[in-house]
Amino acid sequence: MIRRIVLWPDPVLDHPTQPVVDFASLPPLIEEMAEAMKEAKGTGLAANQVGLGLRLALIGRADGSWFEIVNPEVLSREGGVVYNEGCLSIPGEWHDVPRSLKVRVRYRDARGEEHEIAAEERLAHVLQHEIDHLDGHVYAHHLSPLKRKLIREHMLKKKRDAGRNAR
Ligand SMILES: [Zn+2]
């Protein structure tokens, strides 16, 4: 069964995830996340978006392939840019979000090996969006309180309507 994408607001999306300790448990989880991301046509997916409170995310590349980041840490940021941003957990909404143009990130892969990546533009954007999820922040966190409240209200209505339709 394909894991369902959790919609915001939800406690699992609003709290920081726990660092991964048990790397041996990762392969099946990563496989399930890859399936959910493909199904949803996402360009990235954080573990808490499928209800797993782990510091683990998949990062999609422009060519459709992806790689996993485990226990990532942003080492540095450079420049500023605004992206019109969407999120699988906030479907139907697109908003301009201020981001860094370049980021350096240290992370581990599923085998526990450490890597460092210097990313810019699209890849830097996906990394920032997914690492924010792992820190317990959806992109609305970067918007004004008023915009955040509006998105929250839209989403609560969407969730209520979905609940009604399911009955
Ligand atoms: Zn997202």
* Domain membership flag for residue 50: yes
* Domain membership flag for residue 118: yes
* Domain membership flag for residue 84: yes
In terms of Cβ atoms closer than 10 Å to its own Cβ (0-12, 13-18, 19+), residue 82 is exposed
Q: Name the active-site residue from 68, 73, 85, 130.
A: 130
Tokens standing for residue 86: 């969407």
* Domain membership flag for residue 6: no
86 alpha carbon – ligand 1 mean position (Å): 7
126 alpha carbon – ligand 1 mean position (Å): 9
* Domain membership flag for residue 167: no
* Domain membership flag for residue 3: no
Q: What is the pLDDT of residues 99-122, one digit of tens each?
A: 999 999 999 999 999 999 999 999
Q: Domain range holding 109?
A: 11-162
**pLDDT mean over 16-23:** 98
Task: Look up 130 and say whether it is catalytic.
Answer: yes
* Domain membership flag for residue 101: yes
- Is 70 exceeded by the pLDDT of residue 16? yes
**pTM score:** 0.95
Please say whether the beta carbons of 107 and 70 come within 8 A: yes
- Is 90 exceeded by the pLDDT of residue 167? no
- CATH assignment of the domain containing 93: 3.90.45.10
140 alpha carbon – ligand 1 mean position (Å): 10
Into how many domains does the chain fold? 1
The secondary structure of 87-136, three-state, reads CCCCCCCCEEEEECCEEEEEEECCCCCEEEEEEEHHHHHHHHHHHHHHCC
Length of the chain: 167
Closest CA to 100 of 124, 116, 117: 124
29 alpha carbon – ligand 1 mean position (Å): 18
Alpha carbon separation from 54 to 6, 15, 17, 34, 152 (Å, rounded): 14, 11, 5, 15, 24
